[in-house]
Amino acid sequence: MDDRLRYDRMVERALRGVVREALTQVAEAGLPGSHHFYLTFITGAPGVELPEHLRLQYPEEMTIVLQHQFFGLEVKGDAFSVTLSFSNKHERLTIPFAAVTTFADPSVNFALQFQPLFTSEGGEAAEEPEVEPEEPAPPQGEPDGTGKIVTLDSFRKK
């Protein structure tokens, strides 16, 4: 069992929640103003559903744009589905939020980039090796005993 809190994973989940919320609002009310989304995802991640010809064309990752021509956007707890046009043919894609590596809305200069949770072959991405913090270097020489306590009151405006 890991004996530390994984804040990095908590932050990733929270930020993926931003993507989920943005897509949920668009599914309910459409894209407001000039908003549009670029979403990059790992095509081989578990749960990604797309036509085989697209998987062959984009074996590792793919970027889709939700702007003018997208249909049937549905958002569920762990994935979203959308119909897009590829070479004048409508294709349905289902993309788990865990497969998303980038979300951007260029109209407001907003972007999120995620650590990949999966490899392009669908396996779990290896965690970065843990780096133990280095022990601080021992102080050079002996303390001279002339330490001074500074209170914050001396910096406050009166």
DSSP element (H, E) containing 25: helix 7-29
Could you read off the pLDDT of 6-60 as tens digits, one per residue?
888 888 889 999 999 999 999 999 999 999 999 999 999 999 999 999 999 999 9
pLDDT tier, 157 (very low <50, low <70, confident <90, very high otherwise): low
Transcribe 101-121 into DSSP letters: EEEEEGGGTEEEE---SB-TT
Higher pLDDT, 125 or 95: 95
Q: What is the pLDDT of residues 57-115, one digit of tens each?
A: 999 999 999 998 899 999 998 999 999 998 889 999 999 999 999 999 999 999 999 88
Structure tokens at 123: 């396996």
SS3 content of the chain, % helix, strand, coil (to 5): 25, 30, 45
Domains of the chain with CATH codes: 7-113 (2.30.30.220)
For the question of whether the overall pTM of this predicted structure is more than 0.85, the answer is no
Using alpha carbons, select from 28, 6, 3 the residue that is nearest to residue 128. Answer: 6
Q: What is the CA radius of gyration of the chain?
A: 24
